[in-house]
């Protein structure tokens, strides 16, 4: 029997073909797809994701890593983990992927105007944060201090290394990178990213933190900000990653309790999800 909601759902479940303009290898395990929307324009907010379909293989949620102010193409930065991400990594310029979205909640860029921004990324987690960094730089007068802290395993795993250096060289932005394990060529900080927090100045009473990385990294970072710097939990934003199928709150695949990670998140204020972080297999 036909219902009123069926056409809308079918429409939202139908991927639109986007042409691959370029594939850029970022790291040995990570690449960026530059994708052309069919009509050239694509509106999204920093922190949102799309469902990316490798034709004949499968569909995965991937955050957008480009500036929301850019027109003409979007960037999606992807780490090879399994069948779909490996298939996406074999694409060449001129190939097509299917895109649905943008979906999910954004980083709260409007809400936090006038505050210090403390942006903390771990590993591939810098990719979903990059549109927030671009937005803050493009609208620099809207925010007070801008601090980007990044932690990854080794110097060979530093994502967007050139840009991190450029941001760090600016007078209106602080950017610092740390690695878990250094090699002989690395002169920077060594250790977990939370160790960098005490090395940068910010006003905890007027700061919003945006944190993205492995769940253990986000948990430890949020605890450090709350316990070490007395930051209010509602001023800390994190992302939840869970397996997804529909991305639009229909299939229940990403459901936990009353929340759907795909529509209530994936960006959440910490008090909404802190207790979910240890729960696997949602
Ligand atoms: C909202 C959202 C945004 C994301 N953004 C990005 C992004 O910008 N870049 C990126 O590289 N990845 C991102 N991911 C993760 C990405 O969706 C998974 O890596 C991908 O689904 C793996 O699919 P696969 O078929 O290649 O591997 P699979 O064979 O499905 O899985 C390979 C391994 O990864 C694990 N895995 C699969 N899906 C997830 C998941 N969602 N979270 C955690 N572990 C998972 C599996 O348990 C398995 O161990 C995002 C996930 C979500 C939910
Ligand atoms: S992925 Fe289907 S409800 Fe979230």
In DSSP notation, 60-119 reads EEEE--S-TT--S-EEEEEE--SHHHHHHHT--TT-EEEEEEEESPPP-TTTTTTSEEEE
Cis peptide before 102 (omega within 30 of 0): yes
Which has the closest alpha carbon to 127: 62, 45, 195, 36? 62
- Ligand 2 centre distance from Cα of residue 261 (Å): 7
Q: Residue 36 pLDDT > 70, yes or no?
A: yes
d(CA 62, CA 199): 32
Ligand 1, atom 20, residue with closest C-alpha: 60
Which has the closest alpha carbon to 107: 60, 63, 75? 63
What's the pTM? 0.94
pLDDT single digits (tens) 167-183: 999 999 999 999 999 98
pLDDT single digits (tens) 71-109: 899 999 999 999 999 999 999 999 999 999 999 999 999
Residue 5, pLDDT score? 60
Residue 281, pLDDT score? 46
Q: Residue 199 pLDDT > 70, yes or no?
A: yes
Ligand 1, atom 32, residue with closest C-alpha: 82
Q: Residue 250 pLDDT > 70, yes or no?
A: yes
Place of tokens 């219902």: 3
Residue 274, pLDDT score? 77
pLDDT band at 232 (very low <50, low <70, confident <90, very high): very high
Strand residues in 104-190 grouped as ranges (E): 116-122, 146-152, 174-179
15 to 85, 100, 146: CA distances (angstroms): 17, 5, 36
Contact 130, 161 (CB under 8 A): no
Residue 61, pLDDT score? 97
Q: Residue 2 pLDDT > 70, yes or no?
A: no
Ligand closest to the CA atom of residue 87: 1
Q: Residue 257 pLDDT > 80, yes or no?
A: no
- Ligand 2 centre distance from Cα of residue 249 (Å): 4
Residue 82, pLDDT score? 97
Contacts of 238 (CB under 8 A, 6+ apart): 211, 212, 218, 222, 267, 268, 270, 273
pLDDT band at 18 (very low <50, low <70, confident <90, very high): very high
- Ligand 1 centre distance from Cα of residue 3 (Å): 33
User: How do beta strands 207-212 and 174-179 pair?
Assistant: unpaired
The ligand 1 atom at the shortest distance from the C-alpha of residue 65 is: 8
pLDDT band at 280 (very low <50, low <70, confident <90, very high): low
Pocket of ligand 1 (CB under 6 A): 49, 58, 60-63, 77-79, 81-85, 104, 124, 127-128, 241-244, 266
d(CA 91, CA 85): 10
């Amino acid at each position: 029997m036909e219902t009123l909601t069926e056409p809308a759902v079918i429409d939202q479940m139908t991927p639109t073909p986007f042409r691959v303009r370029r594939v850029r290898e970022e790291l040995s395990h990570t690449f960026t797809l530059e994708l052309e929307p069919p009509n050239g324009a694509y509106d999204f907010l920093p922190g949102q994701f799309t469902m990316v379909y490798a034709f004949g293989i499968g569909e995965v949620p991937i955050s957008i890593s480009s500036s929301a102010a850019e027109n003409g193409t979007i960037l999606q930065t992807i780490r090879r983990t399994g069948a779909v991400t490996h298939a996406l990594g074999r694409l060449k310029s001129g190939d097509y992927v299917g895109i649905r979205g943008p979906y999910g909640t954004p980083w709260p860029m409007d809400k936090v105007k006038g505050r210090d921004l403390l942006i903390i990324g771990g590993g591939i987690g810098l990719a979903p944060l990059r549109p927030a960094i671009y937005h803050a730089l493009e609208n620099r007068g809207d925010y007070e201090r801008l601090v980007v802290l990044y932690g990854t395993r080794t110097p060979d795993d530093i994502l967007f290394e050139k840009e991190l250096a450029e941001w760090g060289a600016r007078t209106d932005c602080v950017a610092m990178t740390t690695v878990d394990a250094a090699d002989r060529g690395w002169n920077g900080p060594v250790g977990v990213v939370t160790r960098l927090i005490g090395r940068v100045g910010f006003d905890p009473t007027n700061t919003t933190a945006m944190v993205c990385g492995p769940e253990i990294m986000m948990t430890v970072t949020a605890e450090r900000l709350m316990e070490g710097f007395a930051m209010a939990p509602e001023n800390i934003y994190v992302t939840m990653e869970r397996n997804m199928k529909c991305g639009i709150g229909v299939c229940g695949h990403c459901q936990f309790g009353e929340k759907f990670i795909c529509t209530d998140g994936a960006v959440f204020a910490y008090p909404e999800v802190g207790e979910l972080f240890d729960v696997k297999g949602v």
